[in-house]
Amino acid sequence: MVHLSTIPDENQVVDGKLAGGIKKVHLQLVNDDDNFTTSVYGSRFAARDLPKHEMPEAEMSKDVAYRLIKDHLSLDGNPILNLASFVTTYMEEEAEKLMTESFSKNFIDYEEYPQSADIQNRCVSMIGRLFHAPMGVEDDVGAIGTSCVGSSEAIMLAVLAMKRRWKNKRIEEGKPYDRPNIVMSSAVQVCWEKAARYFEVEEKLVYCTEERYVIDPEEAVNLVDENTIGICVILGTTYTGEYEDVKAVDDLLTKKGLNTPIHVDAASGGFVAPFVVPDLEWDFRLEHVVSINVSGHKYGLVYPGVGWVVWRSTEFLPQELVFNINYLGADQASFTLNFSKGASQVIGQYYQLIRLGKHGYRAIMSNLTRTANYLSDSLEALGFIIMSKKSGEGLPLVAFRLPPQEDRNYDEFALAHQLRVRGWVVPAYTMAPNTKNLKMLRVVVREDFTHSRCDSLITDIKQSQQLLGQMDQDSIKKQQDFIHKHNTSSGKASHNHPKYRKEKHSLQGKTGKTHAIC
């Protein structure tokens, strides 16, 4: 009979004690200065943690620094699977090359980089024409605009312009100007609440309901009084992507003889509606629309961050808000919240505008609309309630929720967590205030979200539902807590100051919304 036997070792453990031979072992660890003949992972830096709090005293090789930071960033999520964000995640190699070559250009220095400045002017002109802006510069009839870091800055500038114009008129009439207000939907993006709070403008809100997720035109106009600086109307809300009815608001203002300005927040819809529903009247074709913002880094198809704001004419941008400077070598006018910024994103926008043209944008937005319609139909077939609009009545996104069902142990948040395990970031959140905390999920259909990838998402949603359906409530809760703690960035976040963390001090505006500082 054959027996398998171990090979004896004098250093093996015998009866729970180490053999005496272990004392003979001496560690011989390399401690020489790096000469970088080995790989990055053979250097002393690979055996240390990356500096976190204090700048290191000594330098390191550029190759080592690059590789270690790249490895650290590899733990970020895959942006292609992040269906929560509107932000562009794909650009052509040629566009990336142009942008990379412009990293060193300070866009504000018009004297040094006149061609970059001219490219901004070309973009403003093209975008203004896309929005049917008045043309010409004589007698202050032509539109005017500028690039921004994003729509948040664009909205801040637009609110400043509306407030100052209202204030000037009140001073002229000898009336008080200490209580400005702005009318808007409770479904506005947080930057509107920031603008109102930072610039001390009262928010007059038109609240959403369980059946209506956008502004009610009549209710909005009824809120207008002598202290109203303007009305915000959204072309594609953050929650459901639905277009608010700008024309209805404009018609009601005309009917009531009111001269209240309208600002259109077209952050997401400004590069979609002109190509998918060109006959929709929402822009400068309407008399009361005085300014429009749009994000280049959303459906403008440029990497973050770039935004644009256009005014109907100089009449709606008070002169005193514009600064004239000459210390960069030439006289130039400036209306921005920040000063220095890179030229790359503006150049990237120009590339997309001339590379794709109207036909290219129309083709891309048409495909996105088709994919969104397909996803909406598929989710509806799975039993979900669809909250977003289809076929061009809103942005190419799908907002949906589970049907009321008493015997189901999981909700939208549990489904979102389960999808997170599979790599997808599909946000679950509650609808705007006054909707009885209606829970929902949202998928943003971006340029790189193909029909094939959409099928993969649908399959994973079905499988996630099947798995959750087999679990009891306690198991689902334990799994959610584990996923939130270990599989999501928010669960492991430590970058927020303790004073401003959501769980300790909720930051609630007058809308009743809660926003975490990130």
How far is residue 278's CA from residue 264's CA, in Å, rounded to a whole number?
Answer: 16
Of 269, 334, 291, 313, the closest CA to residue 182 belongs to 291
pLDDT of residue 328: 55
Q: Which H, E and C letters describe 120-149, residue by residue?
A: HHHHHHHHHHHCCCCCCCHHHCCCEEEEEC
pLDDT of residue 452: 96
Measured CA to CA in angstroms, residue 205 lies from 187, 220, 434 at distances of 9, 8, 11
Of 129, 88, 157, the closest CA to residue 306 belongs to 88
The amino acid that residue 27 corresponds to is: L
DSSP string, 334-389: E--S----BSHHHHHHHHHHHHHHHHHHHHHHHHHHHHHHHHHHHHHHTTPEE-S-
pLDDT of residue 21: 55
Q: What is the pTM of this model?
A: 0.85
Find out whether 87 and 449 touch, Cβ atoms under 8 Å: no
The amino acid that residue 152 corresponds to is: S
Measured CA to CA in angstroms, residue 387 lies from 401, 449, 462, 501 at distances of 7, 20, 19, 31
pLDDT in tens, 240-271: 999 999 999 999 999 999 999 999 999 999 99
Q: Cis before residue 21, ω within 30 degrees of 0?
A: no
Of 234, 354, 349, 237, the closest CA to residue 297 belongs to 349
pLDDT of residue 518: 38
Q: Which DSSP letter does residue 283 get?
A: S
Backbone angles phi, psi at 198, to 5 degrees: -65, -40
Q: pLDDT below 50 — which residues of the chain?
A: 1, 13-14, 504-512, 514-518
How far is residue 518's CA from residue 514's CA, in Å, rounded to a whole number?
Answer: 13
> What six digits make up the tokens of 400?
């949906």
Across 56-172, the runs of DSSP E, i.e. the strands, are 144-148
pLDDT of residue 139: 56
pLDDT of residue 84: 94
> What six digits make up the tokens of 51?
């500096």
